Amino acid sequence: DGGITQSPKYLFRKEGQNVTLSCEQNLNHDAMYWYRQDPGQGLRLIYYSQIVNDFQKGDIAEGYSVSREKKESFPLTVTSAQKNPTAFYLCASSPFGDRVSEQYFGPGTRLTVT
Amino acid sequence: KNQVEQSPQSLIILEGKNCTLQCNYTVSPFSNLRWYKQDTGRGPVSLTIMTFSENTKSNGRYTATLDADTKQSSLHITASQLSDSASYICVVKGNNRLAFGKGNQVVVIP
């Protein structure tokens, strides 16, 4: 899991509540990413950030929001607008500010919304 | 249609046996291909990276092959161990984009 931490490991929320997932890295990487992983599916990109104070929507950004105020941190907020928020969420970082450098993944956060 | 297809979806093997996982892709242009290992409830960890000019690369008991002409890659696990039980994900780098396979779920039993 390298120098990427995600917290908490497990998160439970009631439907209709917003929830924020934490992702911190001490690798001095420029780029950070959020993915969603569902059973039997490949990783899907939610948002990514190539530099501080800038981020881009991925393939499934609806119902999610992010911020990148510091190089080390890239929190993800799952809003009540996300129709199916229960999933395993993975944060990643890469040394360069493009989308295709090797990505180092955090340990993940499993979010359950009931 | 997914640009990266992996097979078999899942398999069970006896400890000590070998197995081979397949990855077919349609990503173009092709830049490189990585195999990741993901233990249950953990983040993926890179095993190997294959570039266009490489045919074979090993990492311990893991050997990856690449045929860029047929757009196929394989990951061979030799003398499997219980700790090899995991999902193996094939990731192909194309034009400023990564395409993820759904993974091969491997279960090693004693």
pLDDT digits (tens, 9 = 90+) for A60-92: 999 999 999 999 999 999 999 899 999 999 999
Determine the Cα–Cα distance for residues B97 and B99; give it in Å rounded to an integer.
Answer: 7
Q: What is the pLDDT of residue A63?
A: 96
- B97/B39: higher pLDDT: B39
pLDDT, tens digit, 9 for 90 and up, residues B75-90: 999 999 999 999 999 9
pLDDT at site B2: 74
Choose among A58, A62, A64: nearest CA to A18: A64
Average pLDDT over residues B17-37: 94
- Judged by a CB distance cut-off of 8 A, whether residue A1 touches chain B is yes
B29 and B95 Cβ atoms separated by less than 8 Å? yes
pLDDT at A2: 52
Gap between the Cα atoms of B40 and B23, Å rounded: 20
DSSP secondary structure string for all residues of B57-100:
EEETTEEEEEETTTTEEEEEE-S--GGG-EEEEEEEE-SS-EEE
Q: Which of A25, A7, A58, A4 is nearest to B44 (CA)?
A: A4
β-bridge mates for residue B108, sequence order: B13
Asked if the Cβ–Cβ distance from A100 to B31 is below 8 Å, we say: yes
A103 touches B at CB < 8 Å? yes
Is A99 touching B (CB cutoff 8 A)? yes
- Strand, helix or coil at B38? strand
Identify the residue whose tokens are 């984009």: B97
Q: Quick one: pLDDT at residue B1?
A: 63
- Total Cβ atoms within 10 A of residue B20: 14
| pLDDT value for A100 | 60
Give the residue carrying structure tokens 């969603």: A36
**Distance, in angstroms, between A74 CA and closest chain B CA?**
17
The closest of B6, B7, B21 to B80, measured between CA atoms, is B21
Confirm or reject contact between A15 and chain B (CB < 8 A): no
Model pLDDT for residues A20-69, shown as the tens digit of each residue: 999 999 999 999 999 999 988 889 999 999 999 999 999 999 999 999 99
Mean pLDDT over B51-65 rounds to: 93
Q: What is the pLDDT of residue A98?
A: 61
Predicted local confidence at residue A111, as pLDDT: 96
The pLDDT of residue B106: 97
Alpha-carbon distance of B48 to A11, in angstroms, equals: 32
Residue B71 Ramachandran class (φ > 0 left, ψ -120 to 50 alpha, else beta) = left
Average pLDDT score, chain B: 94
Q: Does residue A1 carry a pLDDT above 60?
A: no
The pLDDT value given to residue B98: 87
Average pLDDT along chain A? 92
Taken in order A92, B87, A40, A108, is the CA torsion positive or negative?
negative
The reported pLDDT for the residue numbered A95 is 87
For residue B29, what is the DSSP state?
S
User: Considering only CB atoms, which chain B residues are within 8 Å of A9?
Assistant: 41
